[in-house]
Structure formats: C-alpha cells, structure tokens
A = this chain, B = another copy of it.
Amino acid sequence: MGDTVGKSANGTATNSNDHLIHSEDPLHPANHICTLCAKFYTLGWVTGTGGGTSIRHGEHIYIAPSGVQKELMRPTDMFVMDFNTKEYLRRPDVHKPSACTPLFLAAFTRGAGCCIHTHSQWAVLVTLLVERDFGRDACFEIEEIEQIKGIPKGKGKLGNLGYYDRLKIPIIENTAHEEDLTGSLEKAMEKHPDTFAVLVRRHGIYVWGDNVHKAKTQCESLDYIFQLAVEMKKLGLPWTT
C-alpha cells in the first residue's frame, strides 16, 4: 500500500486513501452503496437525506455520509473506517460522518456484513400502532404471512423462519440524538439475539444481515410486511390469529 495515511490532531485520517474507494467492480462497497441508496430512494426509505447504508469489507467499514442526497451519492462521498481501530481511513472533507455509525458498528460487532437504516413510513406507522394497541414494551408481531419466510431464524441458526413462525421485531424508543440510540439498540440485540432488525419508534428501522444480499432482502421483506400490516389495520384485519 503506497498511500500514506495522514492523521490529524484529533486522530482522524485526512483525505488520502482514495484507492479504497476506486474500483471498476460494481459490487465493490464504494460503488455498491451508491446503487443501493439510489434504489432505496425510489422505495421512499431515504427521503430528504434520511437513512443510511454501511458495508463491511474485510476490516474496512464503508459508510454513506450524513446529510447527502442518497440518490445522488458517488464513491468519493464515502467514509471508510478501520473496523479494529475505529479510526477513519478515509474521510471526505466536505461531509460529516453519519450519526448512524455506532449503530452500524453494533451490527458489525455481532457479525453482520451490511447494515441498512431506513425512515420507511410503514416502519414508523407500525411503531405507532404497536404502542397504541399493545403498549410501549411490545414488539411488532405478525404471523401466517408468506413473506415472513424471507427472514432468517437467527444468528448461527440454519435457514429462515417458517410460515407458522411468529415474526417478532423489537422496538426501541427514539432519542434526541441518533448516536444515543446505541445503548438501547445493543440491549434490544441482547434481549432478542435472533433478530436481524430493530424498529425505532417514530423514526424507522435498522436491518442487518450476513452480507449485502441478505440485508437488502430482509429489509425489503420487512418493509413489505410493515406496509401490509398498516393496510390490514385500515381494513380491520388482525395481525395475529
């Protein structure tokens, strides 16, 4: 590695290490995060610079920056962090790091390869409906919907949930500052060790998976289920039998 990493006084890397974000491979994390975020924009998940996506690539964590239009991102917008030292290897001068970073790291620490954060309106509505109808401590629970089979049984367990399994997604309360969610997110992960997602009340959802394919598939499946659940409520149909 011919590049030198210049460190500033506060320990963050300066804007060299551009080789980390240049690749011809569309599946390289620096490129992949851009195409994923553009797709997520059309799904309404990252409207108004909301939401974010992060990919672990060996010991490097690639993270979309804060406050950028997610459908217009380019590889040069990307932050790259060393997973072991938690120091930035690349840090674009014009951007702020994502406040989601400690939440993404919580997922990577538990073995995830990709973590997606959306502001999906269906996720937000589901957190409000659960609070009103089942109380503040309740999880979102639904059963006997085929798409549940898109969610894995749990870390280290083989295969996905079955049609007759009940899907349970924990919900944590929102905080004034996104990084302050980290503690309760980690607690929810510990209390619900099989979950690959945590809803955040009045905010959205964090979904992670072993790799990009799994995280995206699980995020899509959950969003499908949340939208269905909201429509079911409008029609007076119960979530569980």
Contact = CB atoms under 8 A, between A and B. Distances in A.
B174 A231 contact: no
A5 interface: no
A76 interface: no
B147 A175 contact: no
A15 to B, nearest CB: 21
Given A49-B150, A200-B146, A231-B230, A224 B121 contact: yes
B235 A203 contact: no
Contacts of A237: 125, 128-129, 132
A220 interface: yes
Contacts of A50: 146-147, 150, 221, 224
Interface stretch (A16-24, A107-115, A210-218): A210-218
15 contacts: A47-B224, A48-B150, A48-B218, A50-B146, A119-B146, A119-B224, A121-B231, A125-B231, A146-B200, A146-B202, A146-B203, A162-B176, A163-B174, A163-B202, A230-B231
Q: Closest 8 CB pairs between A and B?
A: A48-B221, A146-B203, A48-B220, A48-B150, A47-B224, A47-B220, A163-B176, A48-B217
